[in-house]
Amino acid sequence: MFGGIGAQELLLILFVILLLFGARKLPEVAKGLGKGIAEFKKAMKETEEEIKKAAEEPKKIENKFQDSSQKEK
């Protein structure tokens, strides 16, 4: 699932996080992490849409030139 991280390593990491932040702060940390991931996904989606639009732009221009050259004939 996480590459080379097994169940024991994952439990150790969670235990260390619990010790560092405490039980009261853990929900706040998780909430902030969730918001950060959601914002990252949103930015990735917007970037992908912009790339697709930029890739379609030359095709539209090329089609306009082809249409106008066909009308001239």
CA dihedral angle for residue 7, residue 13, residue 15, residue 17, rounded to 10 degrees? -150
Strand partners, 2: 5
- Tens digits of per-residue pLDDT, 7-57? 899 899 888 988 888 888 888 888 998 999 999 999 999 999 999 888 887
**Residue 59 clears pLDDT 90, i.e. is over it:** no
Please tell me which residue, 3 or 5, carries the higher pLDDT value.
Answer: 5
Cα separation, 62 vs 66, whole angstroms: 6
**Which residue matches tokens 């992908």?**
48
